[in-house]
Amino acid sequence: MQPAIDVRTLGVRYNLRLTRKNTVRDAFKGMARRRRGPSHFWALRDVSFRVPPGESLAVIGPNGAGKSTLLQVLAGILQPDEGAIDVNGRISSLLTLGAGFDPELSGRDNILLAGAFMGIDHRDMLARMDGIIEFADLGQFIDAAIKTYSSGMNARLGFSIATAVEPDVLLLDEVLGTGDATFRAKSQARVLELMHAARAIVLVTHDMHWATEFCNHALLLEQGNVVAAGDPAAVVAIHEERSEQRRAGLTPERLPPITDTGILEAEPTAAMPSPAAR
C-alpha cells in the first residue's frame, strides 16, 4: 500500500547570519561575532519515516528537538534543504489554518475563509458550517471577531474545521490538550474516527498518555535527529529515561542508529532497541 507520508533523509537548515541590524555599529559587531561562531544549524537532519493510511504517529521529544519544524515541512510551510517528502492526498493542518484566520472577521466568516484557503468549494463549506459550529461549541462567540478569542477558543475552531473537511493527512500540534475535558474527549473521538476512515495523522505532543493510548507509532526527536522510532510505549519509555538523565545533569547515551527507513511499516521492535537491551 502506498504510504500517506513518505519522508526520506529530510534536512532543514537555519542560517544564523540572517539577523536584522539597526545601525552600522551593530552590523560590524555582528560581523565579528559571526566570524567567531557557527553560521548555521540543522533543525532536522537525516530524518526518515513512513506513515501508512489509517495510522497515527506521535512525534515526541524535548523542547527544541525539531518537532514543530517537522510539522511545518509536512504542511508545506517550510521547504527542506535536504531529502524528499511525498504526501499523498489532501492535508489539513491547524498550522495553516491559524495562519489563514483573519482576526477582524467572525468565527463564522473564518470558517468560509479557511475553506477557500484549502481550496474547498464555497457551497461545500456552507454545507459543513453547522457541524463545524456545533463541534467547536463556542456559543455566541462564533459571531464575534477572532481577535476576541482566547488561544483555546481559536484552537477549538481550528480543530473543528481541520477535522471536518475529511483530510487524507491531518497534522496536529498539541491541540488535543486544549479546552475542557468534554472537548478533549470529543477531539480524541474525532481523531479515532479519522483513523478508522484510513486517514493518516501526525501529532506533536508532550502528552505521553495520548502517544501511548491513541497512536500506532511514535518518533523520538532530539536535536533534529531521530533517536528512536516504533512502538509508542517503548519509545516513550526511552524518552522518559533520557529526560530523567538530563534532569540529573547527565548526558544521555548515544543509541544505535536506525537503519530501516521504512520504520513505521516494519515490526516496531525491529527499528529500535528495547529499553532492556540498551
When pLDDT is cut at 50, 70 and 90, the band that residue 273 belongs to is: very low
In a 3-state reduction of DSSP, which class is residue 45? Answer: strand
Distance of alpha carbon 254 from alpha carbon 233, whole angstroms: 20
Q: Could you tell me the pLDDT band of residue 264, with boundaries at 50, 70 and 90?
A: low
Contact of 223 with 45, CB cutoff 8 Å: no
Higher pLDDT: 24 or 126? It is: 126
Q: What's the pLDDT at 261?
A: 47
Beta bridge pairs of residue 59:
204, 219
Phi and psi dihedrals of 256, rounded to 5?
-60, 145
Given a contact cutoff of 8 angstroms between Cβ atoms, the answer to whether 11 and 83 are in contact is yes
Beta-strand runs (E) in the chain: 5-15, 40-51, 56-60, 82-87, 91-93, 169-173, 200-204, 217-222, 225-230
Q: Which domains does the chain have, with CATH numbers?
A: 5-13+42-89+168-277 (3.40.50.300)
Tens of pLDDT along 102-129? 999 999 999 999 888 888 899 999 999 9
Report pLDDT for 217.
Answer: 93
- Percent of the residues in the chain that have a pLDDT greater than 90, as a whole number: 50
Q: Which residues of 77-104 are buried (b: 16+ CB within 10 A; e: fewer)?
A: ebebbebebebebebbbbbbbbebbeee
Q: Which residues contact 19 (CB under 8 A, 6 or more apart)?
A: 30
Tens digit of each residue's pLDDT (9 = 90 or more) over 186-222:
888 888 888 788 789 999 988 898 899 889 999 999 9
Residue 17: per-residue pLDDT: 67
As a whole number, the mean pLDDT across the chain is 83
The whole-angstrom separation of Cα 151 and Cα 166 is 24
Which one-letter amino acid corresponds to residue 166?
E
pTM of the entire predicted model: 0.79
Of residues 208 and 182, the one with the higher pLDDT is 208
How many other β-carbons are positioned within 10 Å of the β-carbon of residue 120? 18
Sorting pLDDT into bands at 50, 70 and 90, what band is 36?
Answer: low
Measured CA to CA, the distance from residue 58 to residue 49 in angstroms comes to 12
Distance between CA 229 and CA 263 in Å, rounded?
7
Q: Which helix (H) or strand (E) holds 253?
A: none
Q: Which of 50-59, 250-259, 266-275 has the lowest mean pLDDT?
A: 266-275
pLDDT score recorded for residue 278:
37
* Better-predicted residue by pLDDT, 94 or 90: 90
Task: Say what the alpha-carbon torsion angle 250, 255, 257, 260 is, to the nearest 10 degrees.
Answer: -130
Cell of 217: 507509532
Report the C-alpha gap between 218 and 249 in whole angstroms.
26
